[in-house]
Amino acid sequence: EEAAAAAALAEVADVEIDGDGVFKYVLVRVRAAGGPGKDVVRGHGWAEYHADLYERTAEELARQGLGCECLGGGRLAHRPEERRIHVYGYSVGFGRADHSVTTEKLKAEYPDYEITWADEGY
């Protein structure tokens, strides 16, 4: 049971974001039952609200037997032609994510990018 949960957790992508544009994102802590957790970034332009992103993520994770909680949100400005992502802003509903955590996750996913963050802005 625990091994299966840990395996499911390992399958969850650390970062899933749109390839271009400015869009909302959430930082989500994913947990296997009674086990360890990890933080993941989800950001998509289709989401009108941060809650839309979180609810869809939670549904996907629940189908894999994983729980989660939202640690906060913000915005991403992804400029692939400049190889840049800027992390900023906050979520009215969930508060501001720790953008430094998000930045580290993005750096691992996009090692050849310049990734910056700021607490300013909405």
User: Per-residue pLDDT tens for 73-112?
Assistant: 999 999 999 999 999 999 999 999 999 999 999 999 999 9
Instruction: Tell how strand 114-117 and strand 37-44 pair up.
Output: unpaired
User: Per-residue pLDDT tens for 24-70?
Assistant: 999 999 998 777 799 999 999 999 999 999 999 999 999 998 999 99
Question: Comparing 8 with 120, which gets the higher pLDDT?
Answer: 8
* Residue (of 60, 74, 3) closest to 30 by Cα position: 60
Q: Domains plus CATH for the chain?
A: 1-118 (3.50.20.20)
Q: Which of 44, 50, 78, 99 is catalytic?
A: 50
Whether 38 has a binding-site annotation, put simply, is no
Is residue 50 flagged as an active site residue?
A: yes
Task: Round to whole Å and give the CA distance between 78 and 76.
Answer: 6
